[in-house]
Structure 1
Amino acid sequence: MTASERHVLGLSGGRDSAALAVYMRHYHPEIDIEYFFTDTGKELPEVYEFLGRLEGVLGKPIQRLNPDRDFDFWLKQYNSFLPSAQTRWCTRQLKLRPFEVWIKPMLAEGTKVYSYVAIRSDEEYREGYTSKHENLVVRLPFKEAGIDKAGVLELLDSSGLGLPKYYNWRTRSGCTFCFFQQKIEWVRLREQHPDAFEEAKRYEKTALNGGSPFTWSQGESLDELERPERVEQIKKDHAERVRRSKAKVSVNPLRPDDEPLDIDDLYGQAKACLACHK
């Protein structure tokens, strides 16, 4: 690496980006990679715990890029309208903007910045990481090496890192009130982190009172979603999805414990924000 090059790898607190960090450390130790995490201030506590363990595996710190304005500031700027799949201002302002501010001086001084992104070989390359600057080069090591979901799980297992603890109840990282959550994830958030669920309800009520057309969960408010009879129905529907999905899956003799079922496996691939969920 020359003085005019820098190598960066963004971590979301999720499985794939953590596995990529492990992969690069093991297979490309000659590259001095700077690891960073953009903290929205609304992350799951399990994410911070996972990042701490990942620092131990990598043997170097993960730089925190805190946005200069927090979620509450931007919510006011958007007239209390909640972010949604149609208007993803949270990703733009709290994830992408701090990264762009961080690398802007590097690019301006002529430094070539290589950004490593955890798109697996079994995923389509999606928009969102296309370079908009001639000195910013996007690299997809998993694509190049043919590493798929099973390979990611093997990397995490062999490193001793394992999966984030939130995988016990939710299979994607991101803010506690991420609008990409499925109904069952909202139910489990209420069970696992009731304070975070109540905070999401307060944001939603403020937004609806201000004229926002969006609720966090499509088609119903969190007040409606948490009614006992609705919770029971959501759990029943989810259990049936799991049953049907497992009936279709062939047992992998190399992983007798089976690969964990992702939410996207059960409900279809969501076009989630890669900066938050990879």
Structure 2
Amino acid sequence: MSQPRVRHILSLSGGKDSTALAIYMRDRVPEMEYVFCDTGEELPETYAYLRKIEAFLGKNITVLNPDRPFSHYLDIYRGVLPDAKTRWCTRMLKIKPFERYVGNDLVFSYIAIRADEVHRKGYISSKSNITPVYPFIDDGITKTDVYRILEESGIGFPDYYKWRSRSGCYFCFFQRRIEWVGLLENHPDLFDKARGFEKFDPETGERFTWNQRESLDELSRPERMEEIKASRQNCLKNEEKKGLIDIFFEDNNDDDQPCLICHL
């Protein structure tokens, strides 16, 4: 009986941490496979960044696609948009394609959780043939090191970090309001597409919106956008006074952290 082959796989999200890990592991594990789970709902900046990563690695990034598009699964879930509790988009558009690609091979799955965020939970498959590996934790790599790795490689950061703090779909429900404003200003067509997925039943009052507190119609009103921008500026000033300002607008008070197969 032939033995199952052993594979090393690193799943890229188009974000800073998984990119830094790919750079870090390039010469350490030459046989590494690099994959990207493409939901079909990604930002154009993500695809441009992946091309830069490919050029640096000198390897093709295998693109994994779901069986059906997001809109198909939205119909199956009767218009109920994914949220932090259900995350059906991650399951159907990311995890299933990845596990199908892995098959029954013995796989070491490399996860870019840093040494300064060991409290976070990455995607850990229930499949017994997939073993998670955490090089950044093992080697004490922190956020500062990630910045250095990206800068020294020449890859730098994805362009969407100018207005967005995470990788992932353009309609990701983990976006903060200021990031929705950024989407509207940078990609109004994608904002309108995301708005089109929202539903409101005037008879029952039931709402399916990306944000629990307001719809994208409400958020996109000029006066509301100005409120959000002003609030963001006040937060930046307060953080700067406390010495906490960062080049990304990360919020450590978030109770719900995104699944790391999407957002590393």
Q: What TM-score range do you get, normalising by the shorter chain?
A: over 0.9
Cα offsets for 1:20-69 (capped at 9, x unmatched): 0000014x0x4410000010010000000000000001010000001111
| Residues in 2 aligned to 1:22 and 1:238: alpha-carbon distance in whole angstroms | 33
Q: Report the aligned-residue RMSD.
A: 2.1
Show CA shifts across 1:59-86 (max 9, x none): 1000000111110110011011111112
1:14 paired residue number: 15
Q: State the shift of 1:206 in Å.
A: 6.7
After superposition, the Cα gap between the structure-2 partners of 1:183 and 1:41, relative to the gap in structure 1 and judged at 3 Å, is: same
Separation (CA, whole Å) in 1 of partners of 2:97 and 2:204: 28
Secondary structure in 1 matching 2:251: helix
Determine if contact 2:121/2:259 at 8 Å carries over to the other structure. Answer: no
1:271 partner amino acid = Q
Partner-residue secondary structure (3-state), 2:17: helix
Structure that is richer in helix per residue: 1
Indicate how the Cα distance of structure 1 residues 209 and 159 shifts in structure 2: closer, same or farther if over 3 A, else same.
Answer: farther
Quote the residue 2:184 is aligned against.
190
| Seq. identity, % | 49
Distance of 1:242 and 1:127 partners within structure 2: 28
Runs of 4+ in 1 over 2 A off after TM superposition: 124-135, 205-214, 261-265, 267-270
**Shift in Å, 1:210:** 9.5
Residues 5, 112 of structure 1: 8 Å contact kept? yes
Aligned pairs for 1:41-60 (under 5 A) are: 41-60=40-59
TM-score by length of 1: 0.88
Does 1:233 find its partner at 2:227?
A: yes
Offset at residue 18 of structure 1 (A): 0.4
Aligned counterpart, 1:175: 169
Q: Are residues 1:204 and 2:198 paired?
A: yes
Measured after TM superposition, the shift of residue 125 of structure 1 is 4.2
Question: In the aligned structure 2, how far is the partner of 1:157 from the partner of 1:203?
Answer: 37
1:160 to 2:154 alignment: yes
Give the number of aligned pairs: 262
- The C-alpha deviation readout for 1:142-181, integer Å capped at 9, x for no partner, is 0001001111010000000000000111121111111100
Give the match for residue 258 of structure 2: 272
Structure 2 Cα separation of the partners of residues 260 and 203 of structure 1: 31
Tell me: CA distance 1:82–1:277, structure 2 relative to 1, closer, same or farther (3 Å): same
1:91-102 alignment, distance < 5 Å: 91-102=90-101
* TM-score (normalizing by structure 2): 0.92
Cα separation, 1, equivalents of 2:137 and 2:131: 15
Question: Where does the alignment leave 5 or more consecutive residues of structure 1 unmatched?
Answer: 251-257
Residue aligned with 2:164, SS: coil
Residue 127 (structure 2) aligns with: 133
SS at match of 1:52: helix
- Unaligned 5+ segments in structure 2 are none
Aligned to 2:242: 248
Q: Could you say what secondary structure the match of 1:187 adopts? A: helix
Moved more, 239-248 or 13-22: 239-248
